[in-house]
Amino acid sequence: MSAVDPQDKNPKIEQAGASDESIQQVHSILLREKPEPEESHSPMPLFLLGFISAMVLMVAIYFVHNSGGLSQSFSFKQAAMVYDERFDPKNAPAANAEVKLDPLVLGKKNYASVCAACHQPNGAGVPGVYPPLAKSDWANGSEELIIRILLHGLTGPIKVAGADFNSTMPTIGPGGYNFSDEKIAAVLTYIRQEWGNNAPAITTEKVTEIRTKTAVGRATAWTSAELEAIR
């Protein structure tokens, strides 16, 4: 087939191959086809104009209200550091604003993020692997012992609520999860008030006292034997 000027619309010229023989051999499949598609020129429905205008308006308003500071500052550089779409530079909080939280709320949050993985969200532990905290003699018992466990960790055999465990609990305090004294007090208070436990709360000051007392010379995790000696 040789090239044809695309503007040439005369079907009779240069239909190389479309000879009389081949026309008669055009398969019935081709014969029964409808003609090649065309476009009609029906006008656009009027409501479309209204619809499109409404969309443009709504979307513009949406963008301005959720631009993460861009529509206020018009600086892409500044807006590149904003990840909250509601951010308004005029109401920005102070750089180091601290928020005071209720100890039980703080304790519950910290329990969920650190302790629940082993001791489970319901405090039941994993039989044979991680001791329970719910209705546990240790959790409801002496604060001297459990504060030490969180500060330095616990290793080796231990009997909790009549069952034997032999595992390793990591350090929750400095050197491990780095919980502050306030966080340790909060999470222990939460544990002692949840799942049917009813033991006295633990204060930040008590945690600080024990931490400073054991600060010298305590590098390794406690064993239950050592803790029993303190009891």
Partner 1 sequence: MASVPNLVASFDPATSPDLVKRAELSEIDASTKIPALFFLGSAVLWLLVGTAFALISSFKLHTPNFLGDTEWLTFGRTRTAHLNAVIYGWSVNAAFAVAFWLMARLSRSVLRHSGLLMIAGAFWNIGVTIGIIGILAGDSTSIEWLEMPLYATPLLFVAYALIGAWALITFRFGKSGHIYVSQWYLLAALFWFPWLYSIAQIMLLFQPARGTVQALVNWWFAHNVLGLWFTPIGLAAVYYFLPKVLGKPIHSYYLSILGFWSLALFYNWAGVHHLIGGPVPAWVLSAGIAASFMMAIPVIVTGINHHMTMVGSFSALKYSPTLRFIVFGAVSYTLTSLIGSLMADRQVSEVVHFTHFTVAHAHQGMYAFFTMVMFGSIYYILPRILLKEWPSAMLISVHFWTVAVGITVYVVGLSICGIKQGLEMNNADIPFLSTTVPSVVTNTIPYLLSRSLSGVLMTIGHLAFAVNFTWMLLRPRAPQGTTPTLFQNPPEMEVAR
Partner 2 sequence: MNRAPLIFLGIFFTLAFSWTGIILTNQLTYGKLEPIVDQTENKSYPEALPGLAAQGKLVYQDLGCIYCHSQQVRRPGFGADDKRGWGDRQSVPRDYIREGRVLLGTMRTGPDLRNIGARQASRDWHMLHLYNPQITSKGTIMAPFPFLFETHKIVGQPSPKAIKLPAPYTAASGYEVVPTPRAESLVAYLQSLKDTYAYPETHNVFVEPAAPTKAEGKK
> What is the identity of the amino acid at 51?
F
Q: What is the DSSP string of 113-151?
A: IIIHHHH-TTS--BTTTB---TT-TTTTS-HHHHHHHHH
Phi and psi at 106, nearest 5°, equal -65, -40
Interface with partner 2, residue 126, by CB under 8 A: yes
**Number of Cβ atoms within 10 Å of the Cβ of 58:** 10
Q: Tell me how far apart the alpha carbons of residues 52 and 44 are, in angstroms, rounded to a whole number.
A: 12
Q: Which listed residue (88, 164, 205, 228) binds partner 2 by CB under 8 A?
A: 88
Interface with partner 1, residue 46, by CB under 8 A: no
Closest-CA residue to 187 (of 124, 111, 127) = 111
Give the nearer residue to partner 2 in terms of CB position, either 106 or 202.
106
Interface with partner 2, residue 199, by CB under 8 A: no
**Number of Cβ atoms within 10 Å of the Cβ of 154:** 24
Interface with partner 2, residue 176, by CB under 8 A: yes
Interface with partner 2, residue 124, by CB under 8 A: no
Which residues lie near partner 2 (CB under 8 A)?
A: 6, 69, 76-77, 79-84, 86-88, 91-97, 109, 112-114, 116-118, 126, 128-129, 167-168, 170, 176-177
Which residues lie near partner 1 (CB under 8 A)?
A: 1, 3-4, 6-9, 11-12, 15, 17-18, 20, 22-24, 26-45, 48, 51-52, 55-56, 58-60, 62-63, 66-70, 76, 79-85, 87, 112, 121-122
